[in-house]
Amino acid sequence: MADPVTLSTLVGEPWDDYGLIDSGHGLKLERYGDYCFIRPEAQALWSPALDDWAAHGAFVPGSDEDGGGRWTYEKPVPQGGWPLSWGEVTFQASCTPFRHLGFFPDMAPVWGWMREKLAPVDTPQVMNLFGYTGVGTLALSHAGQGGVASLTHVDASKKSVAQARANAALSGMTERPIRWIIDDAGKFVAREVRRGKRYDGILLDPPKYGRGPDGEIWRLEEDLPRLIAECRQLLDKDSRCLFLTVYAVRMSALAIGAMLAEHLGDLPGRIECGELTVREEARGRLLPTAIWARWSQD
C-alpha cells in the first residue's frame, strides 16, 4: 500500500535558455533564449524587484476569460519562432495566440523527476497524455538505464503533434522509439487497457476544457477521476511513477492527491501532492504556476 499523501513544493530553477527574471503587479518577465517577454500572471501579488522591465514583447489579454488576447512588440521577434534547448532536447519557441510560447518551462522539474524515477529501468515504457508540442516527450525519451525509453505521445490536436514531430527532427531524435498518437486521451487509454498494455511511467497534463479529434468534450472536474482510474489499470507493482499537473482551475493540491490515493493507493510506494513553482532570478521568490499530484516507488 502507498504511504499517506504528503504535501510539498516542486521548484523550477532557471536554465541557459529560460528564466523567470522578475514578477509582480500581476505580471511576469521571462527570458526565452535571446528574447524577453511580459505575460499576465494573476498569482504575482507582490511588487516587482526591478524598476526596468525591458522586453521584446508583451501579451495583452482580451476581455474574455478564455485566454484570448494579442501580442505587442517593442523589438523585432522572429515570427516563425526560434530554437531553444533543455538538456538533449532542441525545440521551437514562438509567440502563440494562447499567451504561452509553445511549451511550458515550469514542467522542467517534472521531466527531471520522472527521469530519475525511471533511471533503473531498461528501456522504460512511458506515456505522455496531452503531450502538446512534445518537449516533455522528447525529454522523457532519454530516461532509463541506457538513456532510451519507449514513448507514447498522445494529443488530440494534429497541429500540436505535427509540431512535436518537428521538434523531434530539430533534436535529431526522429529514429527514437516514439509513437505519435492523434486521439482523445480517454478513448486511447481505454483501448490500451483493453489491449492489456502496461507502462512504467505516465505523465498527464490535462487542460481545463478541450475537444478530441472527433468532437469529444473534455471537462477536467468531470472526466479526470475516470481517466486516472483507467491509467491505474496500465500500472502494476513494477511500474515506477505517475505525475499529474493541473493548471487554471479552482482546485486544491490536496484534492487531486486524495483522488490519486483512491485509485492508486493499492500500489506500493508513496503519493505526494503540492504546488509547482518557478524561482525568480531577481529576488529568488517562488511563483506558483500549477498544482500537482504524483505516485512513485523507489
24-62 residue pLDDT tens: 999 999 999 999 999 999 999 999 999 999 999 999 998
Q: Which domains does the chain show, CATH number per domain? A: 2-13+102-296 (3.40.50.150), 18-84 (2.60.40.1180)
Instruction: List CB contacts of 184: < 8 A, sequence separation 6 or more.
Output: 156, 212, 213, 214, 216, 218
- Decide which of 176 and 211 is more confident: 176
Answering whether pTM is above 0.75, one says yes
Instruction: List CB contacts of 163: < 8 A, sequence separation 6 or more.
Output: 92, 102, 133, 134
Asked if the model's pLDDT at residue 65 lies above 60, the reply is no
The answer to whether 292 and 33 are in contact (CB under 8 A) is no
Q: What's residue 66's pLDDT?
A: 58
Share of the chain above pLDDT 70, in %: 97
205-249 residue pLDDT tens: 998 888 888 888 888 889 999 999 999 999 999 999 999 999 877
Share of the chain above pLDDT 90, in %: 86
Q: What's residue 3's pLDDT?
A: 61
Give the three cell numbers for residue 208: 481545463
**SS3 of 265, please?**
coil
Query: In terms of C-beta density within 10 A (0-12 exposed, 13-18 middle, 19 or more buried), how is residue 148 classed?
Result: middle
CA distance 134 to 103: 8
Q: Determine the average pLDDT of the residues in 160-164.
A: 97
Q: What's residue 268's pLDDT?
A: 94
The answer to whether 179 and 129 are in contact (CB under 8 A) is no
The answer to whether 204 and 245 are in contact (CB under 8 A) is yes
Dihedral angle of Cα 172, 176, 182, 185, to the nearest 10 degrees: -120
CB burial string 19-54: b at 16+ within 10 A, e below: bbbbbbeebbbbbbeebbbbbebeebeeebbeeebe
Asked if the model's pLDDT at residue 97 lies above 60, the reply is yes
CA distance 62 to 53: 22
**SS3 of 245, please?**
strand
CA distance 179 to 141: 11
The answer to whether 287 and 24 are in contact (CB under 8 A) is no
Q: What's residue 133's pLDDT?
A: 97
247-283 residue pLDDT tens: 877 789 999 999 999 999 999 999 999 999 999 999 9
Q: What's residue 217's pLDDT?
A: 85
Asked if the model's pLDDT at residue 67 lies above 70, the reply is no
